Amino acid sequence: MLSGSLLRLACFALVAATASCGRNDARTIVFAASSLTEAFEELAREFESSAAGGRIELHFAGTPTLVLQLREGAPGAVLASADAAQMQRAAALGLLGGDAEVFGRNRLVIAVAGGNPEGVEGPDDLARPGLRVALCGPDVPAGSYAREALTRAGVEPAPVSDEPSVRSLVGKIALGELDAGIVYRTDVAAHAGRVEAIEFEAADRVRPAYTIAPLTARAEGPATAGASGARTPDRTGALFVDFVLSSEGREILERHGFEAP
Amino acid sequence: MDVRRPLALPLLVPALVAALFLAAPLVGLALRAPWSTVLERATSDPLLAALRLSLVTSTWSAALAFVLGVPLAAWLASGRSPARTLVRILVTLPLVLPPVVAGVALLLAFGRAGLLGGSIELLFGAALPFTTLGVVVAQTYVALPFLVLAAETGLRGVDRNVQDAARTLGAGPWRVFRTVTLPLARPALGAGLLVAWARALGEFGATITFAGSLEGTTRTLPLAVYAALEREPDAAIALSLVLVAVSALVLFLLRRRWFPGSTGQDAAPEGGAR
């Protein structure tokens, strides 16, 4: 009963989906939190051109999504997490092939549209009626950090949305759909001009830490991953972890707004 | 009367593969489902709020798509012209647009800072994003093409002679459409309505981008599934099963009405689309 054009579209989709299934087992894929996007793209470029380096592929998503994908058998060599709790979950699932180390810290800021048209000065303003404020959902690291900071500041705003990631939150501020939100300082840098960061004192007491760890050679899904313990980690992956932790890696991270651990 | 015709072998094998391909993810969900707690989770307050919101918004979206889509389909079906070809492309584009991009595009058009944002705020007293009405708008945008394409096929299939006969008997165009064309195209319109409803029910990307995600206001069932996936995948699987069960139930209940061909000859009205 559906029209022919619809059926043809469905066929195209199927062909496109199967064409991209080709799988190369030699790949070294780094699973990284989405707030690390620009920094890790540069880290990977520098690593690939260094003497020790091999080819790196980057995969970005919210940390809980990364852990879920790894749990279901996604082939990752390294996990860079924005959230200590999620790294512990990965460890409990037997996914890690080495110790997790803190490689950088971020800082929460209040993000507002460029020029700060609503005159937001601090957390107190976020509870102002009529102001469209959103946070990341409580399950997203940035969302739980933001709620912690607001509790410490004694402010209880009524967000109009629990956004799924800092990137979508800051994007909606850049578009002018939201008046304010709490994001990482590094996310504002990506929207320079259209979004402004306002530092606030309570952020000093919540300092999001980023951890990195090599993964076991191939996570085989939930059944075997828990039982088999640590296996040999991917060599290129281990070298990349060392590079991120090196002084050269730290320099790149600092250039993107991350603080030293 | 059951008339069986054997299916040619070159058709049988891909048909079987297709059926298995569609069934496998559902079997996967069912096998991993935390059955002992599904009922408990399925009746929790956040889930019921999401379910209620999903049913209400997708029904509104399907209705809106019907009211706007059928007239557009009628125009598309009423002849051939370059203008119609252009509009048909316009109708089909939301199908290929990634829903997240559709959501951004909706923000640029109907958002507070968007093209028509100012007029909408004057008209409704509030901007659309982050409201339940925004959910309906996002769902209607992605569901409308399904309805228009199905309805156009159905309306084109209506016998021209019957419509001409009504016209020669003195009926005006509106009366012909209402009393002759529409009833004859009913199976196709029904199928279109159902597919549009189902698409609206499952909508995720455009909704979360355009309307955000807030419990009770904009967090529909698919958004609740995504939020739960971050925290406890088991809960997400349970929620997904609820979504699948609700859709399957509705499709089953409406099978005679909307898919007359599948349940035997007796229910099939004359003059359906070919």
- Write out the two tokens for B258: 């909307």
Residue A4 above 70 pLDDT? no
Sequence-ordered list of residues with C-beta below 8 angstroms from that of A254, at least 6 positions apart, any chain: A260
Establish if B153 touches chain A: CB-CB under 8 angstroms: yes
Least Cα separation, residue A56 to chain B (angstroms): 26
Query: Quick one: pLDDT band at residue B269, thresholds 50, 70, 90?
Result: very low
Least Cα separation, residue B51 to chain A (angstroms): 18
For residue A176, which residues of chain B lie inside 8 Å, CB to CB? Answer: 111-113
pLDDT at B254: 74
For chain B, the straight-line distance linking the first and the last C-alpha, in angstroms and rounded, comes to: 21
Section A175-195 average pLDDT = 90
For residue B214, which residues of chain A lie inside 8 Å, CB to CB? Answer: 159-162
Residue A7 above 50 pLDDT? no
Question: Do B188 and A1 lie within an 8 Å CB cutoff?
Answer: yes
d(CA B211, CA B205): 10
**What value, to the nearest 5°, has the Cα angle with vertex B195 and ends B192 and B201?**
140
Section B26-36 average pLDDT = 86
Establish if B257 touches chain A: CB-CB under 8 angstroms: no
How far is residue A169 from each of residues A159, A195, A259, measured CA to CA in Å? 12, 11, 22
Q: Which residue has the higher pLDDT, B249 or A8?
A: B249
pLDDT at A223: 40
> Using an 8 Å Cβ cutoff, are A251 and A44 in contact?
no
pLDDT at B248: 87
Residue A20 above 80 pLDDT? no
Amino acid at B272: G
Percent of chain A at pLDDT above 90? 53
**ipTM higher than the 0.90 cut:** no
pLDDT tens-digit profile of B100-134?
999 999 999 999 888 998 888 888 888 899 999 99
Element (H, E) at B176: helix B173-176
pLDDT at A226: 41
Residue A220 above 60 pLDDT? no
Out of A2, A162, A176, the one facing B213 most closely (by C-beta) is: A162
- Write out the two tokens for B178: 């209402």
Question: Do B227 and A139 lie within an 8 Å CB cutoff?
Answer: yes
Out of A6, A161, A177, the one facing B112 most closely (by C-beta) is: A177
Question: Do B208 and A64 lie within an 8 Å CB cutoff?
Answer: no
Q: Which residue has the higher pLDDT, B53 or B125?
A: B53
How much is the pTM? 0.79
Residue A64 above 70 pLDDT? yes
For residue A132, which residues of chain B lie inside 8 Å, CB to CB? Answer: 112, 130
Residue A70 above 80 pLDDT? yes
In chain A, the DSSP E strands lie at: 29-33, 57-61, 78-81, 101-105, 108-113, 133-136, 162-163, 180-184, 195-198, 209-214
Out of B127, B146, B213, the one facing A137 most closely (by C-beta) is: B213
pLDDT at B266: 42
Least Cα separation, residue B1 to chain A (angstroms): 22
> Using an 8 Å Cβ cutoff, are A85 and A215 in contact?
no
Residue A2 above 50 pLDDT? no
Establish if A134 touches chain B: CB-CB under 8 angstroms: yes
Establish if A69 touches chain B: CB-CB under 8 angstroms: no
Residue A228 above 80 pLDDT? no
Section A68-74 average pLDDT = 87
pLDDT tens-digit profile of B148-173?
999 999 999 999 899 999 999 999 99
- Chain A residue with Cα closest to B188: A1
Establish if B231 touches chain A: CB-CB under 8 angstroms: yes
pLDDT at A217: 67
Give me the total of CB pairs closer than 8 Å, taking one residue from chain A and one from chain B: 94
- Chain B residue with Cα closest to A72: B233
User: If you search the block for the tokens 């409201």, which residue do you land on?
Assistant: B131
Query: Quick one: pLDDT band at residue A221, thresholds 50, 70, 90?
Result: very low
Establish if B154 touches chain A: CB-CB under 8 angstroms: yes
Q: Which residue has the higher pLDDT, B255 or A146?
A: A146
pLDDT tens-digit profile of B74-99?
999 988 899 999 999 999 998 999 99
pLDDT tens-digit profile of B214-267?
999 999 999 998 888 777 777 888 888 888 888 888 878 777 666 655 544 444
Out of A5, A71, A137, the one facing B227 most closely (by C-beta) is: A137
Element (H, E) at A47: helix A37-49
Amino acid at A173: I
**Residue A127 CB burial class (10 angstroms; 0-12, 13-18, ≥19):** middle
